[in-house]
Amino acid sequence: MTNNVEVLRYTAFTHDPEGGNPAGVVLDAAELSDTEMLAVAAEVGYSETAFVTARDDERRVFRVRYFAPEAEVAFCGHATIATAVVLAERLGIGQLLFETNAGEIAVDTEIDDDTLRATLTSVPTRSRPAGEDELDEALVALGWSRDDLDPAFPPHVAFGGVEHLVLAAASRERLADLDYDFDALRSVMTRHGWTTVNLFWRESDRRFHARNPFPIGGVVEDPATGAAAAAFGGYLRVLGTGSAEFTVIQGVDMGRPSTLKVSIASEDGRTRVGGGAVPLDTPSC
């Protein structure tokens, strides 16, 4: 089924092929069915593969869909960055517009210090306190207790295209020690409609460390999660905490360090998330 599909493989939020979050990119998916796109994503095996199902190169407008190995996802940040870099390599730098299931995503591409970078602007964000039952169910699945949480950052459910449970670890050691019940957490997340759980630790107001379990996509953890970073920007905006510009460090504990540059872009909470992307030397399907 996937033998004739050209899949480009890039890793996003890094300039090193050994870092970042790998994503598949299919530039011509107009004739692929949902079943075929899901099959391609499963064969690729990355947390997400982006499919360009319609394109207008002159207007630089593209219909993009995202599939994890086990399900379609409304929006994926790292696959957006990877796809934007791929398109900029072919069409030249400038602004792109991605029409996604979550809404329109503007992406700026530029050359910075001889490196091609992309910065997406999310849909409007929102954030609400997590319910007590939601929190208890998630903590049991994670193997965490309330004593493991930083009381300065209340648990929330945040949205930046998709929803994420946001939990602050009380220490870097707690964040590093991640050994959760995959099936139990997937069940909790499916029931509540969360795409990932965004676990973070504050190093400073301008620098955060994060980890993102992603069992509903069939993946234990993402090494870089642009959608969660966008939602996290909305979360901090609602709390009125920290800086309008900050960095999220992710993937370190997985051996794939990633750097996400984040800023609150507008009063409605749209968040800008940027980083580089580089190709991986792996074969297509």
| SS3 annotation, 172-218 | HHHHHCCCCCHHHHHHHHHHHCEEEEEEEEEEECCEEEEEEEEHHHC
Can you give the pTM of this predicted structure? 0.93
pLDDT band at 52 (very low <50, low <70, confident <90, very high): very high
Task: Please indicate, yes or no, whether residues 91 and 194 belong to a single structural domain of this protein.
Answer: no
Whether residues 243 and 206 fall in one domain:
yes
The answer to whether residues 102 and 207 belong to one domain is no
**Domain count of the fold of the chain:** 2
For residue 192, being part of any structural domain is answered with yes
Does a structural domain hold residue 78? yes
State whether 111 and 16 are in the same domain: yes
Residue 226, domain member (yes or no): yes
Q: What is the DSSP string of 138-171?
A: HHHHHT--GGGB-TTS--EEEESSSEEEEEEBSS
- Do 94 and 21 fall into the same domain? yes
SS3 content of the chain, % helix, strand, coil (to 5): 25, 40, 35
pLDDT value at residue 284: 45
Listed residue (176, 185, 161) closest to 79, CA to CA: 161
pLDDT tens readout for residues 89-139: 999 999 999 999 999 999 999 998 888 999 999 999 999 999 999 999 999
CA distances, 257 to each of 11, 21, 199, 220, 233 (Å): 11, 9, 16, 16, 20
pLDDT value, residue 252: 97
Q: For residue 284, is it within any domain?
A: no
Structural tokens at position 183: 């099936």
Report the distance separating Cα 154 and Cα 79, nearest Å. 29
179 plus 253 within the same structural domain? yes
Of residues 228, 201, 232, 230, the one with CA closest to residue 217: 228
Residue 1 resides in a domain: no
Express as a percent the part of the chain with pLDDT over 90: 91
Reported confidence tier of residue 265, pLDDT bands at 50, 70, 90 = low
Do 105 and 125 touch, CB atoms closer than 8 A?
Answer: no
| pLDDT the model gives residue 266 | 64
The answer to whether residues 102 and 222 belong to one domain is no
**Same domain, yes or no: 160 and 237:** yes
Same-domain status, 96 and 155: no
How would residue 3 be classed by pLDDT, with cut points 50, 70 and 90?
low
Could you tell me if 105 and 131 lie in one domain?
no
26 and 139 together in one domain: no
Q: What is the pLDDT of residues 182-236, one digit of tens each?
A: 999 999 999 999 999 999 999 999 999 999 999 998 899 999 999 999 999 999 9
Q: Has residue 111 been placed in a domain?
A: yes
The parent domain of residue 57 ranges over 8-122+275-279
Same domain for 160 and 196, yes or no, is yes
Query: Residue 149 is which amino acid?
Result: L
pLDDT 10s digits, 135-188: 999 999 999 999 999 999 999 999 999 999 999 999 999 999 999 999 999 999
CATH assignment of the domain containing 107: 3.10.310.10
Q: Is residue 3 a part of any domain in this protein?
A: no
